[in-house]
Structure 1
Amino acid sequence: MTARPAKAVSRRPPRPARRTSAVRPPRAGRGGPRRLYSRVRRAWDRPLTAYYLILGGSLLITVLGLVMVYSASQIKALQSGLAPSYFFRKQLLAAAIGGVLLLAASRMTAKLHRAMAYPLLAVSVFLMCLVQIPGIGVAVNGNRNWLSLGGPFQMQPSEFGKLALVLWGADLLARKQERKLLTQWKHLLVPLVPVAFLLLGLIMLGGDMGTAIILTAVLFGLLWLAGAPTRLFTGVLGGAVAIGALLILTSANRMSRLACIGATDPGPGDQCWQAVHGIYALASGGFFGSGLGASMEKWGELPEPHTDFIFAITGEELGLAGTLSVLALFAALGYAGIRVAGRTEDPFVRYAAGGVTTWVMAQAMINMGAVLGLLPIAGVPLPLFSYGGSALLPTMFAIGLLIAFARDEPAARAALALATRKPVFGRKPAGVRWKTMRRRVARRPSGER
């Protein structure tokens, strides 16, 4: 038998293995909470975050306040024989003037702010002295702290005293820090504490303890930022508490307000009427409120619905969602102020920003705490929100200070300069590459971005 010839071995190269589409394992945090957290953190750490928080938060509070003033004051105006929009028109005028002051303050330099400190303090003390002269000062709700400007317009000089103490105190402490004098307790206290006590004395002559508490908070905020030793800080705080307790114990009106903390019944003689009906307004609002303009407490049941207790009307008409929104806006404003004070290298900016933040946050907490029944009713308005031009104007100027300080940070200034560059006659500037309609990235020699 003949053997079969062996098959020739193929010399062709083997076919490459077919590629299979392997499923990539998901990266840790991809599309999840960790990635969202990192994005939020990066956005939160951007140079202009504080600037936008202060500008946007203050404007939103003011606009929402105008809406609530119009809603809460209509019945009060009709009961006084006035047009329903009477208080709203006055508040709108004050907001317009305050907007001009905010814009002016935001465009001023820190040097110009410091130059205003002493004149503003002198004018404030002079006006607060005029309040105590019979025939010139006007008493409202038992407190003699108003000046008549003719017609329906009045001014409360103590509101401008807050701004004066912030600017003057910041300038004083900054100059002493530059000379390295704040390590001595006498330079830390004098003349800051005596001048603050002068303002407090003039305010208390008119019986306005609510404003005096806020001014005291500003004083302690400045001392804290200046690095006052614990013993010194505790001593001044103990003295202020002792004086405050004496003023409360010697006044039947203040004792009755203190007794209304947490009250659920108007009590004998209806002494807790306002505090209890503020709780009623909040309780009847539910989660989303009864609707804008549908409040029942503003029909004569709740005194001062458009000023001191406008937060209660907000809770009744806009519900828990509305009150939490207001709280969130104030929290954002407070965080931005603390951030500006903490990131600056200028001592005046640090003291001024800290003083303004302490002022606004302390006043907001005192007002909201009184409405919630957690604090005694102090008769202070909710900043930027309640009716009252005397309180709105200096507060908006103070917000303008914070905006100016937030803009003046080196990183924020560079970001604003890049964001405000615009093309000339429709052509992009030289050396700039357009990435999107809103973002421009400068060209670099290496091609990196």
Structure 2
Amino acid sequence: MTSTTGSVKSPAKGSAKGDRSIGFIPEWLERLDRPVTTYYVLVGVTTVLVGFGLIMVLSASAVTSLSETDSGSAYSIFFSQLIFAVVGMVALLIASRMSVSMWKKLALPVLLVGLVLQALVFTPLGIGVKGNRNWLNFGVMTMQPSELLKVGLALSGGLILSTKRKQLGRVGHALVPYVFPVGMLSLGLVLLGHDLGTVLIMAAIVGGVLFTAGVPGRFFAMSAASFAVIAVIFVVTSPNRLGRFDVWLGRDRDQFGAARQTIHGRYALADGGWFGLGLGGSREKWAWLSEPHNDFIFAIIGEELGLPGTIMVLVLFVVLALACYRLVMRSSDFFVRIATAGIMSWIVVQAMINVGAVIGLLPVIGVPLPFVSSGGSSLVTTMLALGILLSFARAEPGCAKALAARPSLIKRSFAVLPKRRSRP
């Protein structure tokens, strides 16, 4: 028998480059597999979304600022949003520098603070906005405590379910204590304020957390049926919500009544066409669309920037979701995986509901577009959530070491300057 040992020839010394081009993994794909990829993708997407959101808020809110604010300035809403963006950036930077172990310690305190603040909504500090009692007025500022509850639900879900990882095959351990009482208490307090849109987002967080933890599928079937019954009850018992469903189903086409937002949102998208009317050129923001800088800012994006602008926004959220998915798959910490899935479910589902309402696929529920719509509580908490994800990304094996070895932006900037010659 002839031996096959040594029958495979070793590659030539100069063929390494050629082998890489015909290998299984291209060079550009190898770069995406680096430990710092998730970190930089999250930083890049967040920066673009927040910056783009500020530009669109400035464009969409100018008319509203002039007509509905006491300042007489076209920039009042924009400056308010800019201040919240700065606060959110500080929160993001602080959160990104905290360790995973610290977030495990803060998970329950964040949840408890959110629950207490949400309960204060039903005291004299609480105020109602368009039929929803979900705001706190502290005089110098107002806030929506349910936004902090979203962070608490994601973090506490990671903490509770990671400690019960081996028992999650039994529904009782999956339900107690995360679903009962934590989840039900959180959703119940918000539901008492009649904010069904926020409840849907929070339910998506709970569902994403449980799914990632590996809870049996039969639990989701039972929960979906129960939640659907509750949602139907809240819709049929509220004339406002029932009117929104009539608009969505086409029964109400009064453009000066309940259907005004939906109809003029579609007008805006239709006016934008393929390439838009140009930044600042929206017609619908001139008192036709009542929420151009908030819930219906996506319509203004389509009107001013056309199809490329709307597709860019959708692509950014898809990239954000892929970065979160990559973080879930590459992390060995069960807490990180579950909490990341909760935050991803929050941001992605909220974006889907907002865009779906604008284009007519869903009824108008009244949730902002994350990072883009005007609103201080939403912007600050979503940036805080991204800071938490950056903290998790830094904990990815090899990421912190690679970031530490990379010179800072300031050092790289000064490195291109010519060095001063020393005097003889």
Q: Output the TM-score relative to the length of structure 2.
A: 0.87
Per-residue deviation at 1:155? 0.5
Per-residue deviation at 1:131? 0.6
Answer whether contact 2:65 2:74 (CA < 8 A) is retained.
yes
1:236 corresponds in structure 2 to: 223
1:388-411 CA distances to partner (integer Å, 9 max, x unpaired)? 111111111100111111121113
1:393 corresponds in structure 2 to: 380
2:249 counterpart of 1:259: no
1:171–1:29 distance in 2 versus 1, CA, 3 Å: closer
2:210 corresponds in structure 1 to: 223
1:397-447 CA distances to partner (integer Å, 9 max, x unpaired)? 10011111112111323432332499x9xxxxxxxxxxxx9xxxxxxxxxx
2:65 corresponds in structure 1 to: 77
Deviates more, 1:230-239 or 1:42-51: 42-51
Q: By percentage of residues, which structure has more helix?
A: 2
Per-residue deviation at 1:41? 2.6
1:67-126 CA distances to partner (integer Å, 9 max, x unpaired)? 111111111111114321111111111110100100011000111111111211111111
State the alpha-carbon separation in 2 of the partners of residues 29 and 410 from structure 1.
Answer: 25
Per-residue deviation at 1:262? 6.5
SS of 2:135's equivalent?
Answer: strand
Instruction: Kindly report which structure 2 residues correspond to 1:11-410, keeping only aligned pairs within 5 A, or say none.
Output: 38-80=26-68, 81-82=70-71, 83-133=73-123, 135-151=124-140, 153-177=141-165, 180-194=166-180, 195-261=182-248, 263=250, 266-267=253-254, 270-410=257-397
1:442 corresponds in structure 2 to: none
State the alpha-carbon separation in 2 of the partners of residues 285 and 268 from structure 1.
Answer: 19
Answer whether contact 1:306 1:387 (CA < 8 A) is retained.
yes
1:28–1:181 distance in 2 versus 1, CA, 3 Å: closer
2:12 corresponds in structure 1 to: none
Query: Match for 2:119: what amino acid?
Result: C
Answer whether contact 1:263 1:276 (CA < 8 A) is retained.
no
State the alpha-carbon separation in 2 of the partners of residues 272 and 43 from structure 1.
Answer: 50
- The count of residues paired between Structure 1 and Structure 2 equals 391
Answer whether contact 2:100 2:395 (CA < 8 A) is retained.
no
SS of 1:139's equivalent?
Answer: strand
1:92–1:231 distance in 2 versus 1, CA, 3 Å: same
Query: Match for 2:117: what amino acid?
Result: L
SS of 2:167's equivalent?
Answer: coil
Query: Match for 1:44: what amino acid?
Result: L
Answer whether contact 2:96 2:388 (CA < 8 A) is retained.
yes
Deviates more, 1:251-260 or 1:280-289: 251-260
Gaps of 5+ in 2: 1-17, 417-424
Identity of matched residues, % = 44
